[in-house]
Amino acid sequence: MALELRPNCEFCDCDLRPEATNARICTYECTFCASCVEIELHNVCPNCGGGFTPRPIRPATEWRPGLSVVKRPPSANRRFLKYDITDMRNQSARLRLIPPEQR
């Protein structure tokens, strides 16, 4: 099963193309830009409470049959946070000093 490759930051709604090096995901593939992860979220996913990692880049070239961004295109469905900014900041404040591997 391939990653969905969501097209936007769920916080600021900036575009995150499949080749974006500033895309970050949590274990549930919640997707945010690096700026929001660092400045707004403090490496705390507002949905699950986990940490983030750089999102892998799907190859543009089909090096193996059926495996490329053309053969397995990214999602076009934009996602947005379902929590308000106060709730998100409270979640981040509660968890950001705990390393992700200990949350």
pLDDT in tens, 53-62: 999 999 999 9
pTM of the model: 0.92
φ, ψ of residue 22 in degrees (nearest 5): -100, 10
Structural domain range at position 69: 23-96
pLDDT tens-digit series, residues 24-44: 999 999 999 999 999 999 999
Total count of domains within the chain: 1
- Do the beta carbons of residue 27 and residue 94 sit within 8 Å? no
Residue 18 lies in a domain: no
Q: Residue 17: pLDDT above 90?
A: yes
Residue 5 lies in a domain: no
- Do the beta carbons of residue 42 and residue 92 sit within 8 Å? yes
Residue 101 lies in a domain: no
- d(C-alpha 14, C-alpha 34), whole Å: 11
Q: Which residues contact 52 (CB under 8 A, 6 or more apart)?
A: 24, 25, 26, 32, 37, 41, 43, 45
